[in-house]
Structure 1
Amino acid sequence: MRRTFVPLACAALITSVAQAQTPASPQAPAVDARVASPATPAPPTGSVTLEAAVQTALQLNPQLRAATADLAASDGSVRQAGLLPNPVLGVEQEDTRSATRTTTVQLSQTLELGGKRAARVELAQRGQDIAALDLAARRADVRADAIQAFFNALTAQERVKVAEESLRIAASGADAAARRVTAGKVSPTEETRARVAAASARIELRQAQAERSAALHGLTAVMGLQEGAIQQLDGPVDVLPPAPSAVDIVARLADAPSVRRAQMEIQRADAGYTLARAQGVPDLTVGVGAKRAQELGRTQAVISVSVPLPFFDRNQGAQLEALRRKDAAQARAQAEALRVRSEVLQLADLLQARRDEVDALRREVLPGAQSAYEAARTGFELGKFSFLDALDAQRTWLQVRCQYYAALAQVHRHAAEIDRQLGTPNDRPAMGTQP
């Protein structure tokens, strides 16, 4: 019986032959360990700066962790695509009588021809590259969301200070009006108006505090922290980001995450077409084994070779589909580049307009409104102006300050949106082997 399985020793050569028929699987790009398994940083304590908010968000944001896991999972697709087909062990018996039965044991192996394995690996590799670009786009989103949330909270914090000052001024005006009424210099109506103004200031302060609380909740969610983890922000709210020029935008357009992803979709579609063509080439199946005929009393070697005849199915339909998908990917890539360019140019114009507004408010409107208020307040205290004049000047000054902080928030929001669309050098992943 030992001689029955001697020919099967040759089956070990089949796997090595199969390896020789297909190129080695290209190595998948190693995922940065800092990205795949980020160390959990300690939550920021004390006053939170913009840099701390962004870095914490990039480490703890749940959506970013999900995109990182998707990239790590794509490595399994690359490995699976490079595996060889399993050999097949078959046993066949003819006749059930021990004296005349014939037993055949055969080990067969399919040899993939036409570059199927390499094409599968290439397609899986392009999918992994797209997952890396999705991670880069998600990082840009999280960074932009963190910047926007930080400056929303920071400007809300400044508006609370403005409201507190407004309440202090209103309370002081109410006290001054009461003293003048007591002295008989003005009618009690002036004191009533002053008390109403103070009550309105208290309402505005509560609204500003609620807006600050809501903005802090939004920042906490983006950073991936527990509620109440942030109480105070630290940073200059009036430092304006630069507005990119049209030349800078065009230069950065090719590195925009969505544009790079659209270009990678073209490469994946091309890899899909290559695989569809390779699948039209028939595979070769070889087998080796032994046949034991009891009636003859000897063992015979069995060698088999089989190949499908591509008379009808040459995978021509799949090839046509892959070609059309490649055409569609090219059209979508062009549309995406045009969309990003148009939106970023619009954002750049809005950013510049807001910068001009902030500059005008800072240089002309704010100093003038403050000077008018101080003059009206002094005149009211000296009895030269009515309380309505002082109240109107006060409201104008405070409204201008609120407008100033709202314009600052818009400047930072537009700048963050531009970075979201164009990405940053830190968001560009290392791609695998390009086709």
Structure 2
Amino acid sequence: MLCVAAWPPGASARDSAPLTLEQAFTLTLERHPALERLPLARVARTAARDEAAQKPPLTAGATLENVLGSGDTAGFGAAELSLSLSSVIERGDKREARVAVAQGRLDALANETRATRLDLLAEVARRYLDALAIQAAEAAATDLVDQRTRTAAAAARRVSAGASPRPVQLAAEAALARATLERELLQTQGAAARRRLAATWGERDPGFERLAGDLLALPAVPAFEALTALLDRSPELRRFADERRLSEARLQLARSAGSADLAWDVGVRRLQATGDTALIAGLSLPLGSRTRARPGIVAAEAELADLELERESEAIGLYATLAEAHGRLLADRQAVSRADTDVLPRLVRAEEEAGRSYRAGALSYLEWAQLQADLLAARRDQITAARDFHRALIEIQRLTGDAFAADEETP
């Protein structure tokens, strides 16, 4: 389960309550056109399978001979009219092989559907995470504005009392203006991130102003060995099972082409000259079918062998990506934890004591302002580490085929 998906569900996206990730997932699954196309693909592939299952058609024919010639064949006196019915007897289980190929493409649609859903939900989670990180940065910027406001007020009082020169007050007011501008920029970025998120489900005017959840609430990091055991569930690897079945069906279809089809026809012939009728029948069998089928068989065998090598290569790449993502999880979690337990508590206390010392005249304005800047930088670093943690977790869930919230298996 995606860690940021565990937040309490709220109201719909049009309500004033913060939007939850589950709601973003649900809206996307309900409205995204990529998912609406999947049922149409199933209809098309089902029809292709039904078409492959059809037997060769019967063909009705009529042949008129010995007419409009010369001598005895002048006019229609010597005409011979033949009515026939013909078809083909397929040999080598061709129809079964065609059906197997079409059924393989239909069966592969289930994994294609799951992969599409996972990719789409991963993108929703990433956009949600980006917007949530900006929201957290905006909250930190608001705290800085409050700090700079108190600093500017304290500087103004000291200047009025003659304890500090006028430039100190101007510097404090300039720092407040910069902090206010930074918050406004983050507010603009947040609005853009929310629009980008809402665009995932086709909404151009987001009906929500805030997102639910605590960016700094990190779940436990799963063991790497447990994650590698789940790699076979990855859509990238699961598709190879479908493709292998499809390649095997194509190979069988290529082999079946080595068995020549037997064409037959049967009918009656009317002899106009004598008024007699006669039964006609014929059989035909093409020669050299095995030779003509050999290139197709070789190509199908090579495709099947190449598929296995491709799977091994893909598995190596997925393992490397998983190892990198898991390493980021551990490092980012440690960074967030150390900031909570060691860095931020000390900086908060230092900033508070610096404020009291400045008001008492025991500390300069620059020292107090520097502590405020250090506190903001530490908060930003923590937000960045938490965001990167969640990004790595999203990638791991996509790699291992873990379902996101609101995701369901396709029947």
TM-score (norm 1): 0.85
Name the counterpart of 2:36.
65
Alignment partner of 1:45 is 2:52 = no
Residue type at the aligned position of 1:317? P
The answer to whether the Cα contact below 8 Å between 1:289 and 1:303 also exists between their aligned partners in 2 is yes
Name the counterpart of 1:184.
162
Selected match of 1:127 from 98, 105, 110: 105
CA distance in 1, matches of 2:50, 2:266: 28
CA distance in 2, matches of 1:292, 1:176: 119
Q: Counterparts of 1:282-361 in structure 2 under 5 Å?
A: 282-310=260-288, 313-361=291-339
Q: Counterparts of 1:18-167 in structure 2 under 5 Å?
A: 45-46=15-16, 47-96=18-67, 97-167=75-145
Given the superposition, is the C-alpha separation of residues 363 and 68 from structure 1 closer, same or farther in structure 2, using an over 3 Å criterion? farther
CA distance in 2, matches of 1:199, 1:422: 47
Q: CA RMSD in A?
A: 1.9
Shift of 1:221: 2.2
Residue type at the aligned position of 1:128? L
Residue type at the aligned position of 1:356? Q
Q: Report which stretch shifted further, 309-318 or 369-378.
A: 309-318
List runs of 5+ in structure 2 lacking aligned partners.
Answer: 1-11, 68-74
The answer to whether the Cα contact below 8 Å between 1:147 and 1:412 also exists between their aligned partners in 2 is no
The answer to whether the Cα contact below 8 Å between 2:83 and 2:268 also exists between their aligned partners in 1 is yes
Residue type at the aligned position of 1:152? D
Residue type at the aligned position of 1:73? A
Residue type at the aligned position of 1:211? Q
The answer to whether the Cα contact below 8 Å between 1:133 and 1:428 also exists between their aligned partners in 2 is no
Shift of 1:209: 1.2
Secondary structure of 2:330's aligned partner: helix
Secondary structure of 1:383's aligned partner: coil
The answer to whether the Cα contact below 8 Å between 1:162 and 1:398 also exists between their aligned partners in 2 is yes
Residue type at the aligned position of 2:128? F
CA distance in 1, matches of 2:160, 2:53: 93
Q: Deviations over 1:189-218 (max 9, x none)?
A: 210110111111022112211221232122
Instruction: Determine what percentage of the aligned residue pairs are the same residue.
Output: 28
Shift of 1:98: 2.6
Residue type at the aligned position of 1:175? A
Selected match of 2:391 from 413, 416, 429: 413
CA distance in 2, matches of 1:71, 1:238: 42
Q: Deviations over 1:14-50 (max 9, x none)?
A: xxxxxxxxxxxxxxxxxxxxxxxxxxxx855332101
Name the counterpart of 2:246.
268
CA distance in 1, matches of 2:81, 2:14: 74
Shift of 1:277: 0.3
Q: Deviations over 1:242-282 (max 9, x none)?
A: 32322212221111100011232222211111100001111
CA distance in 1, matches of 2:47, 2:357: 78
Name the counterpart of 1:35.
none
Given the superposition, is the C-alpha separation of residues 63 and 121 from structure 1 closer, same or farther in structure 2, using an over 3 Å criterion? same
The answer to whether the Cα contact below 8 Å between 1:281 and 1:314 also exists between their aligned partners in 2 is no
Selected match of 1:242 from 220, 223, 226: 220
The answer to whether the Cα contact below 8 Å between 2:269 and 2:277 also exists between their aligned partners in 1 is yes
Q: Deviations over 1:160-210 (max 9, x none)?
A: 122122112212211221121111111112101101111110221122112
Shift of 1:92: 0.5
CA distance in 2, matches of 1:174, 1:196: 9
Secondary structure of 2:61's aligned partner: strand
CA distance in 1, matches of 2:323, 2:135: 31
How many residue pairs get aligned? The number is 389
Residue type at the aligned position of 2:193? A
TM-score (norm 2): 0.89
Secondary structure of 1:315's aligned partner: helix
Secondary structure of 1:254's aligned partner: helix
CA distance in 2, matches of 1:150, 1:57: 12
Q: Deviations over 1:116-160 (max 9, x none)?
A: 111111111222233322221111111111111112111211211
Name the counterpart of 1:277.
255
Q: Report which stretch shifted further, 238-247 or 350-359.
A: 238-247
Residue type at the aligned position of 1:124? A
Residue type at the aligned position of 1:62? P
Given the superposition, is the C-alpha separation of residues 83 and 172 from structure 1 closer, same or farther in structure 2, using an over 3 Å criterion? same
The answer to whether the Cα contact below 8 Å between 1:67 and 1:138 also exists between their aligned partners in 2 is no
